[in-house]
Chains A and B, each alone.
Chain A
């Protein structure tokens, strides 16, 4: 698959010298869901705004669908859809009217537009509420409508900035389903940003971890996780056979997939690649020396560990700027009846 988005040394320095995006280069392949994972203020939204031609880069180049973002901005705009984190739907219009307006902004002919509206409404399950004012919609419905608007002109790439920001868990999972369905049914390339680990893990084919405006690492979520080390197998022996445990551990340590064993007060943490195949071998080794296993569990490394390894800090919700808080509050005020 050829690259559908390419950037080369993309940099954005804001007026007061703040380097929001710092020499970022990456490629997105056609048809994949590509995620930018990073904390608030890492430069994710700034990158999107540059790619969708709303913000001029200070330095560097980028092409979207083969068009240069600086030289052919209107060609870029025609071929992409954008769903911002603001849930920017007009609540004084009905759902259908919002879609109608959006379709006209993309210059769709009338007969095509009517069909498309039905189509996208069905896709996000809003057909029966289409003629109601958006003011009566819940937060999740608004987000769905917003996504539907991004799809109305069947863009080649959909840019989604923080798809589930501020939504409850059930709605988040629903939105994830819609995004996955989109990729399957519409064979669309999706570029999304998120600061949720589980979201990046569940949705993205490939992710870039971005921090302080720089890309730290790019890869498939599973590859990134396995690069960090193996699965963590926690093993506990029964008290009566504890003397024999040491012998078992000795032989486990020699197994090919085992990387490291850390003993804690009453258990052993075995770091191993291919945890699933290692577990039966651990049982064999234990029974050979007569040690009885009381409990055994396995945990895969999460993106949290990956993030920590590449940025040196844990990813958590950070305090937003005053402006962000303000717009967040406005958004909530609009949604709550």
Chain B
């Protein structure tokens, strides 16, 4: 009970900070929209390739961009812990009788809620651009939730690193180093069938691919539980493992 309350308070603070910085909110939404309109049109012809899953490239990449948004949102989840440590706020929280785990979990939750918000905006823009979602509004909600699970995982990794790395510069470099390869070794922008086999092999293990499979299914095929459930299950289990490890590492870093 107390742990849930403490977590919500940590999360509340992060979200307050987030909405107080409109530039951050706007830019985090504008950037993926630019990707969407720029790349969606630039690579329009890809959709004409024989065997390409969708007739328009935009339809294919829209889910990719939604997931990319949650990826970027999660990647920097660990930064706040590094700043809090440096500015003394971490010690202030630790001096209070709050559950120790509530600090990392609250922060992960906050960046997940933020990303969910951003992903919703981007998906709405994509729908306005003519991208179809066969499962309707309910499908859209599930898509956002699945994307949020990925954000939870990424912010967990970021936080685990943030617990060990004491400077934000180093953390930024490492996380930047992680994001692009994660993005390009997944099915976010290209189907696995169009990749060289070695790349496809990597992509099969990429959590992004497993997040994208159910999302694409919901957008183009419908409620195909045989595809949706195993992938969502895998992503959720992975997220749980990462959260536990991150929380453990955080707890170890403060003693």
A residues contacting B by CB (< 8 A) are 49, 52-54, 56, 74, 77-78, 80, 82, 84-88, 90, 92-93, 97, 101-102, 104-107, 133, 149, 327, 330-331, 334
User: Which residues on the B side are within 8 Å of A92 (C-beta)?
Assistant: 16-17, 20-21
Please judge, given known A-B contacts A93-B13, A93-B16, A101-B13, whether A78 and B87 are in contact too, CB under 8 Å: no
Nearest CB in chain A to that of B8: its residue: A104
Q: Is B225 in contact with chain A by the CB < 8 A criterion?
A: no
* A133 pairs with B97, CB closer than 8 A: no
Q: Are A101 and B97 in contact, with the CB atoms below 8 A? A: no
Q: Mark B7-42, 1 if CB is under 8 A from A, else 0.
A: 001001100110011000000000000000000000
Q: Can you offer 26 A-B residue contacts whose CB atoms are under 8 A?
A: A49-B91, A52-B95, A74-B97, A77-B95, A80-B95, A82-B95, A84-B92, A85-B88, A86-B89, A86-B91, A88-B89, A90-B89, A92-B17, A93-B20, A101-B9, A105-B6, A105-B9, A105-B98, A106-B96, A106-B97, A107-B5, A327-B86, A327-B87, A330-B86, A331-B87, A334-B87
When chains A and B are docked, how far (Å) is the Cα of A133 from the Cα of B254? 29
Partner of A88, one of B6, B17, B21, B87: B87
Bound CA span A25–B97, Å? 26
Which single residue of chain A is at the shortest CB-CB distance from B93? Answer: A105
Contact partner of A90 (CB less than 8 A), chosen from B9, B17, B97, is B17
A334 to B89, CA, bound (A): 14
Give the docked Cα–Cα distance between A89 and B255 (Å): 23
List of B residues within 8 angstroms of A104 by Cβ:
5, 9
Interface residues on B, range: 20 to 34
Q: Are A88 and B13 in contact (CB under 8 A)?
A: no
**When A and B form their complex, what is the total count of cross-chain residue pairs whose Cβ atoms lie within 8 Å?**
70
A107 and B89 alpha carbons, distance in the complex (Å): 18
Report yes or no: B95 in contact with A102, Cβ–Cβ below 8 A.
no
Q: Which residues of B contact A (CB under 8 A)?
A: 2, 5-6, 9, 12-13, 16-17, 20-21, 86-89, 91-98, 254-255
Nearest chain B residue, comparing its CB with the CB of A106: B96
Interface centre among A74, A88, A330 (most CB of B within 10 A): A88
A56 & B255 in contact (Cβ 8 Å cutoff) = yes
Closest chain-B Cβ to A72's Cβ sits at a distance in Å of 11
Take A101-B9, A327-B86 as given contacts and tell me if A88 and B16 are in contact as well, using a CB distance cutoff of 8 Å: no
Q: Which residues of B contact A80 (CB under 8 A)?
A: 95
- Please determine whether B17 and A77 come into contact, CB atoms closer than 8 angstroms: no
Closest chain A residue to B16, Cβ basis:
A93
